[in-house]
Amino acid sequence: MKFVDYVTISIRSGKGGSGRVAFRREKYEPMGGPNGGDGGDGGSVTMVAESHLYTLLDHRYNRHQFAGNGESGGSSLKKGKDGDNILLRVPVGTVIKNSDTGLVIGELLVAGESIELAKGGRGGKGNTFFKSATNRTPRHAQPGEPGEEFNITLELKLLADVGLVGFPNAGKSTLVASLSAARPKIADYPFTTLAPSLGVVSVGDFESFVIADIPGIIEGAHEGKGLGIQFLKHIERNAVLLFMVPVTSEDIGAEYETLLNELREFDARMLEKPRMVGISKTDLLPADELAKLLKEARSVLPDDVGVLAFSSVAHMGLKELKREMWNHVNTSRSFGLEEEGISTS
């Protein structure tokens, strides 16, 4: 399925039906009182997050979403039929913005969470509503209220526990395939991954975390170079970042700093996330050269950043890497619960 993470659509709620002017006419009561019914309410447009959706593709081909209008009221106090509502289904992590103002209408971060985007117009009152002691035969009714119509922009930002950050061909997709059931495209050339993908990593029998394979970053990505900003945004909602640098890198420290700078220039708040450095493709070096490389890497990288070496192809160091990622994820989740006032003891 094609991955689409940005789309603009038009939405319109239905207008309310008009109230009816009518009077009771029966065989022995030719001049009966008012009995005009109210108009039906217009349909509303609501958006809901679904856990099984991972792309906005459906909305790219359905750019006009118009709810039904309410029907006019009838005689004999019959209320007009309400207009049909529209329920738009989107992936968890979707941000909704007003396209004209740029203001955020809402974010859907939990499966089942919903937001009413455009409320249908209220149906007008029939003339029965206006009957009073001083006006026994009202001859007017309300028109229905108009609906709302505007354009919205949907932007998907993937929700994952661990985000993989690295230059193209750093081995990110191979790692996801080794740790989870996900099967991203893997090849020995840059930009094999053209869309983010998620994998679920099991920890024991009952625990798991989600890992995100983000397309490779290049220097200048925050300015739109390469696949650029369109994929940097997917790192925003990752709890933990794993910077991946292959053993073939000419300068591990410089590569790490370049990646870090791209995140800083895009959004400095990303640097507040816990991070690790993973030295990948260790099967390409003899043990003595690898030990020397790791010693040099630890000497140039920050002391508070853990350094782990692994090979996804040879399945070397993956248990240690998974355990370290899980420790970071678990700490992050516990911290989030404490912020919400939920005890973790």
**Which domain CATH number covers 127?**
2.70.210.12
Domain count, the chain: 2
pLDDT tens-digit series, residues 38-87: 999 999 999 999 988 878 888 988 999 999 999 999 999 999 999 999 99
Highest averaged pLDDT of the listed ranges 113-127, 314-328, 330-344: 113-127
Q: Where in the sequence is the domain holding 335, given as residue range(s)?
A: 160-339
pLDDT tens-digit series, residues 252-267: 999 999 989 888 888 8
Nearest Cα neighbor of 237 from 334, 92, 117 is 92
Q: Give the range among 7-21, 163-177, 223-237 with minimum mean pLDDT.
A: 223-237
Domain boundary among 140, 156, 172: 156
Q: Is 247 within a domain?
A: yes
Contact 70, 78 (CB under 8 A): no
**Which domain CATH number covers 284?**
3.40.50.300
At 220, the pLDDT band (50, 70, 90 cuts) reads low
59/208 same-domain check: no
| Across 274-298, average pLDDT | 92
pLDDT of 340 reads 43
pLDDT of 185 reads 45
74/168 same-domain check: no
Task: Report phi then psi at 288, rounded to 5.
Answer: -70, -40
46/91 same-domain check: yes
At 219, the pLDDT band (50, 70, 90 cuts) reads low
102/230 same-domain check: no
141/283 same-domain check: no
148/172 same-domain check: no
pLDDT of 311 reads 93
Q: Is 1 within a domain?
A: no
Nearest Cα neighbor of 324 from 341, 312, 310 is 310
Q: Is 243 within a domain?
A: yes
Q: Is 345 within a domain?
A: no
pLDDT of 338 reads 44
pLDDT of 1 reads 46
Percentage of residues of the chain with pLDDT beyond 90 = 52
Three-state SS string over 69-109 comes to CCCCCCCCCCCCCCCCCEEEEEECCEEEEECCCCCEEEEEC
At 22, the pLDDT band (50, 70, 90 cuts) reads very high
At 182, the pLDDT band (50, 70, 90 cuts) reads low
Contact 7, 95 (CB under 8 A): no
Mean pLDDT of the chain: 85
CB atoms within 10 A of CB 80: 25
pLDDT of 188 reads 42
The DSSP line for 314-335 is TTBSHHHHHHHHHHHHHHHHHH
| Across 24-47, average pLDDT | 89
152/164 same-domain check: no
74/126 same-domain check: yes
150/292 same-domain check: no
At 155, the pLDDT band (50, 70, 90 cuts) reads confident
Domain boundary among 114, 134, 156: 156
135/245 same-domain check: no
pLDDT of 337 reads 39
Distance CA 299, CA 43 (A): 63
pTM for the full model? 0.65
DSSP annotation of 103: -
Q: Which two three-digit tokens encode residue 259?
A: 């990646």
